[in-house]
Structure 1
């Protein structure tokens, strides 16, 4: 009788231990039961916002619930990222993580309000894109050679950036270092406000991501001089790279989707699979090409986690060498 009781006790214990796993699986099967919030840590109008809205619409269609984009700009993308780090891990609050919030900021801010690895579940890399140097249309520099001569005469560059610690900021700093001139980044709460002031001539130049700047370049509102990619953009084949213009700088911004730490594994896998399905659609691939962005061949939670770790390590020496400090 004692032996039977022990078996019953073991069976009951196994059932109790299995209950949380079963509950997680059941929750993922019905997830999401209501709209999902995707936090963008920059103001509307920039590349992070554009990419987020494009992906959110398609993800919402496939998941059967709206995915609502919420802009929470400020402090080099750390305010919005901090909001998600503190959110409930129920899959209903996600972040458009990026090279600013999870690449540069860990080295830039000594009192970062989150740990970029421990406080997040990184789900998938979505897209990468190069930066582009643009000047006001009234600038006398018609090409990169004339711009280089102009800033070398002045000994300095003033340029607008979408935020301290953004990819465009670090690309601009690296440009100044390569040209051996003093750089003064003028930070804004996103690429949209920064571009507005560049078009108006409040600032003479801007380092922006190419997807964000493309429509303004095509409209003639600003003049593009060079891109930061390894090779020329198919969308702008006449636009040289910084490297072929004599400036040895190559840099890409990147954007992905992350959630709070301890996001249930079944939800992570379902979300990652849905993201892969969205990115594989011909219409989405075509739209990314129009925006001059490149989706990865395939991204998993494991590969994106490793990618974020490598970017943190890669940006650290650049931030130190540039002497960049938050404002």
Structure 2
């Protein structure tokens, strides 16, 4: 009897609050369901891809190709925003000022431009706040001159560089070609001031300057330079293996012949779609949907055809492998960044 009284008391003490408890649980379940539905329905609004360079360069052309082919897979329009300036620093900063919810993405050469914008250009952003989703285009570099150049090999160009003011070079400040040139000059004991550096705001004007014989040489991305291959010659391939497209010796083989130990190869570009690093943790469903749409796009037959015609890389590399690749390059740029300051 005493036990029954205790049970009755316990039951009576719970019943008055039970409706509120049930209501609270119902609201919680409903809110979780609504969040899940919102994630599953993403995206509903147009997506923007920021390109921190002028229209027409390789990053811009890649972004426009991705926008065209990813848009049907995500079901929303994708627009391109060009934010040139500071060799990528202004666009990268603008990107980080946007909400980290997957609605704004970035296409830039993570190595070297993004790394250089941070380490050399002083962009008020952190390397760890960016995630490269795929090393879609890993483009090695070449040392190139115009077809009418008097320099027939890298050795003769190096000799001319020893004469102050004799040689000019087109660069994007802090890019891989610029940094590779300075590393080479230091290794060869050539003063930086010996070369007149002419700065450009993006890949398109950089290539146009060399094709127009406005500068004496450039170290630039090899595949992107195929668009001007009729106007230029390669003196060296900045890679660890020969090129199928450029008939020239390996850069470090020439350095060895000049009495220099092999140098870091940082003259090329690693380009791909970049998201805020926090997206995966804060919006995991959006992140997975974005990754799947990106991979499906790169591996589709129509994008492979488009990329071949456009001369743009189209490799799917996992986010983990991609980030590890550019993290290594970033550490190298950190090491040599003082040369540009």
TM-score (norm 1): 0.82
Q: Could you list the runs of 5+ residues in structure 1 that have no partner in the other structure? A: none
* Residue 313 (1) aligns with residue 331 (2): yes
Cα distance in 2, alignment partners of residues 261 and 14 from structure 1: 34
Q: CA offset at residue 78 of structure 1?
A: 0.9
Q: CA offset at residue 160 of structure 1?
A: 0.8
* Residue 80 (1) aligns with residue 91 (2): yes
Paired residue for 1:50, among 61, 69, 74?
Answer: 61
Cα distance in 2, alignment partners of residues 14 and 308 from structure 1: 47
Q: Which residue of 2 aligns with 1:232?
A: 242
Cα distance in 2, alignment partners of residues 241 and 83 from structure 1: 38
TM-score (norm 2): 0.79
8 Å contact kept, 1:108–1:324: yes
Paired residue for 1:270, among 280, 289, 294?
Answer: 289
8 Å contact kept, 1:157–1:182: no
Cα distance in 1, alignment partners of residues 36 and 144 from structure 2: 49
Change (3 A) 1:60 1:75: same
* Residue 170 (1) aligns with residue 179 (2): yes
Residues 82-141 of structure 1, C-alpha deviation per residue, up to 9 Å, x if partnerless?
A: 11111123322211142244322222134x2222323x4553332211122221332101
* Residue 89 (1) aligns with residue 89 (2): no
8 Å contact kept, 1:50–1:212: no
Cα distance in 1, alignment partners of residues 334 and 206 from structure 2: 25
Structure 1, 271-280 or 145-154: larger mean CA deviation: 145-154
* Residue 299 (1) aligns with residue 318 (2): yes
8 Å contact kept, 2:89–2:121: no
Q: Please give the residue correspondences for 1:1-327 in structure 2 after superposition, counting only pairs within 5 Å.
A: 1-3=12-14, 5=17, 9=21, 12=24, 16=28, 19=31, 22-97=33-108, 98-110=110-122, 112-118=123-129, 120=130, 122-152=132-162, 157-161=167-171, 163-183=172-192, 184=195, 185-217=197-229, 219=230, 221-236=231-246, 238-246=247-255, 248-249=262-263, 250-251=265-266, 252-260=268-276, 262-263=278-279, 264-282=283-301, 284-285=303-304, 298-300=317-319, 302-320=320-338, 323-325=339-341
Structure 1, 60-69 or 281-290: larger mean CA deviation: 281-290
Change (3 A) 1:304 1:17: farther
Cα distance in 2, alignment partners of residues 257 and 24 from structure 1: 26
Specify the SS of the correspondent of 1:68: strand
Greater helix fraction, Structure 1 or Structure 2: 2
Specify the SS of the correspondent of 2:272: strand
Structure 1, 198-207 or 74-83: larger mean CA deviation: 198-207
Cα distance in 1, alignment partners of residues 76 and 167 from structure 2: 46
Cα root mean square deviation, aligned = 3.1
Q: CA offset at residue 274 of structure 1?
A: 1.4
Question: How many pairs are equivalent?
Answer: 315
Larger Rg: 2
Q: Could you list the runs of 5+ residues in structure 2 that have no partner in the other structure? A: 1-11, 257-261
